Amino acid sequence: MSMLSVKEIENYKSDGAIVLRKKFDVSWIKKLKIGIKKDIKNPSSRFKSHTLQKNIPAYLEDYWTWDRIPEFKDFVFNSPVSQIASELMSAKKVNLLMDNWFLREAGAKSSTPFHHDISYFDVDGTICILWLPLEPTGKDEGVAWVKGSHLWNKIFLRVRFTDGHKVEGKKSIINGKKYESPPDILGNKNKYEFLKWDCELGDCVMFDIRTLHGTLSPSVPKKTLSRYTLRVAKEDTRIDYVGDWTSFNYRKAMQDAGYKNGDILGGSMFPQLWPKNI
Ligand SMILES: O=C(O)CCC(=O)C(=O)O
């Protein structure tokens, strides 16, 4: 049985981001919060604070931890996310690309730079992202998406989340793809249409890997807010090594595991999620 309406799928395709209401049972949210607590107690080598100053409220992140934290693994394989993604991308098969969580402590001033996720990965293809708030989150407390930016046919250099939001890499053409400097979204807010939503527990935003998004409002969260995010790919997605500035130690691990340019996404690092039970 379908989880999404035709209208929702059309909106996703035209706007690059949609809100979906009440698709995740609150038991999943509780589980993911337990997962984050466990991860903070015993973080991966990728865990970081994006807040440079010590002893102030921080913006924290860890990623690629699904195989370390049982709660995350359960969510990745057994939650409705892979079916939702298969419907949005008209995919016969969905594989995991990367899992991730973010936590902004109450009072954290650090923010998310406007970016699109495609530049952070050595892959190319059809990919969508789940953004699942783990606390009720107001539309000015989370992330905003630039409507339609996934259709600009542009690729922007990666921006670091660490305070200062440094752009990484050089304007260049790699594997036929032209990497440009990211646009100054905050300095030109009136030029763009933004999508942002109040989210209750169980609501999520699904967005295209090419949709620009970031912190639009300078408001500082009054309570600690966290979200779980997941990047999942359609069967057309292939390995495409584009540069050392992509994703820290991710690239080396992929090369060490034997992934080569042009390989279809799959294998132990990128397991199949949909269809389930194969
Ligand atoms: O939720 C956040 O703080 C940032 C999310 C984000 O930018 C992403 O998942 O790419």
> Which tens digit of pLDDT belongs to each residue from 202-243?
999 999 999 999 999 888 999 999 999 999 999 999 999 987
Query: What integer pLDDT is reported at residue 247 of this predicted model?
Result: 62
In a domain, 270, yes or no: no
In a domain, 261, yes or no: no
Q: CATH code at 115? A: 2.60.120.620
Query: What integer pLDDT is reported at residue 239 of this predicted model?
Result: 96
What's the total number of domains in the chain? Answer: 1
Query: What integer pLDDT is reported at residue 204 of this predicted model?
Result: 98
In a domain, 274, yes or no: no
Question: What domain range is 98 assigned to?
Answer: 6-253
Q: What percent of the chain has pLDDT over 90?
A: 88
Query: What integer pLDDT is reported at residue 218 of this predicted model?
Result: 85
Which residues sit with their C-beta closer than 6 Å to ligand 1? 100, 102, 112, 117, 131, 143, 213, 227, 229
Region 65-74: mean pLDDT is: 97
| Average predicted confidence (pLDDT) for the chain | 95
* pLDDT reading at 248 higher than 70: no
* pLDDT reading at 191 higher than 80: yes
> Which tens digit of pLDDT belongs to each residue from 94-153?
999 999 999 999 999 999 999 999 999 999 999 999 999 999 999 999 999 999 999 999
Residue 253: pLDDT band with limits 50, 70, 90: confident
pTM above 0.85, yes or no: yes
In a domain, 1, yes or no: no
How far is residue 164's CA from residue 85's CA, in Å, rounded to a whole number? 33
Query: What integer pLDDT is reported at residue 175 of this predicted model?
Result: 85
Residue nearest to atom 2 of ligand 1 (CA): 102
Query: What integer pLDDT is reported at residue 246 of this predicted model?
Result: 65
In a domain, 235, yes or no: yes
In a domain, 271, yes or no: no
Ligand 1 geometric centre to CA of 278 (Å)? 31
Ligand 1 geometric centre to CA of 238 (Å)? 23
In a domain, 263, yes or no: no
Query: What integer pLDDT is reported at residue 171 of this predicted model?
Result: 85
Ligand 1 geometric centre to CA of 116 (Å)? 10
Query: What integer pLDDT is reported at residue 25 of this predicted model?
Result: 98
Query: What integer pLDDT is reported at residue 182 of this predicted model?
Result: 95
* pLDDT reading at 245 higher than 70: no
In a domain, 61, yes or no: yes
